[in-house]
Amino acid sequence: MSGPKNAVMLSRRRPGSSGVEPFLFNTFNTLFMIFLVIVTLYPFLNTIVVSFNAGNDTIRGGIYLWPRQFTMQNYNAVFASGTIYNAFLISVARTVLSTLLNIFLTTMLAYTLSRREYVFRKPITTIFVLTMYFNAGLIPNYFLMKDLHLINNFLVYVLPSMISAFNLIVIRTYIGTIPESLVESSRIDGAGDFKIFWRIIFPLCKPVLATIALFVAVGAWNSWFDAFLYTSSRQELSTLQYELMKLLSSSVNANSNPSVANGVGAEHATQVTPISIRAAVTVVASVPILMVYPFMQKYFVVGLNVGSVKE
């Protein structure tokens, strides 16, 4: 008799316990997510606040979520140079062209290497994978760009980034999850490879393409070292990140040596500090990408799940 009685008692306890456990889980989950949002969001909010605070006052510390001495001098110093506007246009053009070409050409190559009937797909894939582990180095790359007549040429920003081995593997994996019956039925209807790619494969790859596009765009937007290497002698080809890097360097020199005020401007050199300039530079460089991200977020979340669900 004790067995049935215990079963009845346990069955009576389950409704109460099942009501407490979800409440505790939801409470803990909510508190944890709030903490995570604060930890993630606070550094950027603090950077914005520091960018609007007087440089000399920022050195004292104690700046958290509101500027103690509000000023626009940091941004005036950033935009004091007239070259930054042209550099912004160069960065935008570079980011757009690099992203479009990388997405289109990498997806086309990934589709080709995903076809089982293509004889050379394995050796070509192996060659691309090897490029992820072996690199010629900085000096050979420079001489390669020189031999291709890309030094002081805008195309040096675009041509080397048209194909990415890592993106190729990711997109090819995603294409492998598309049912083969779609391709076969299209061939029966008389569609060729390019039509199948453009009408079927490319639209179905939107989630992973949006993810890859965001990675490529952020990389192209934040890049400055290639501008330093290949186009530093042509001011009209300078990128925004390179100009901001020079500005930050000049602000450090201006504060260590008041007679040096290149880039910052003599009228701003004594009113800003490297910390305040760095904060303003971070905000200026981040805002364009932050404006694009919300429109791609839904595709970005789906694209991160590539390979997580198998048929």
Q: What are phi and psi of 285, to 5 degrees?
A: -75, -25
What is the rounded CA–CA span in Å between residue 20 and residue 282? 46
Quote the pLDDT of residue 111. 93
Q: Which residues of the chain have pLDDT under 50?
A: 1, 7-8, 10-11, 14, 16-17, 257-263, 266, 269-270, 307-311
Quote the pLDDT of residue 59. 84
pTM for the full predicted model: 0.76
Quote the pLDDT of residue 299. 65
Instruction: Give pLDDT tens digits for 114-160.
Output: 988 888 989 999 999 998 888 888 899 999 999 999 999 999 999 99
Quote the pLDDT of residue 249. 80
Quote the pLDDT of residue 93. 94
Which residue, among 187, 169, 93, 99, has the nearest Cα to 131 in the 3D structure? 169
Quote the pLDDT of residue 253. 64
Instruction: Give pLDDT tens digits for 285-303.
Output: 888 888 877 776 666 666 5
Whole-angstrom CA distances from 281 to 98, 278, 284 are 23, 5, 5
State the number of CA atoms in the 13 A half-sphere of 224 facing the CB: 13
Quote the pLDDT of residue 124. 92
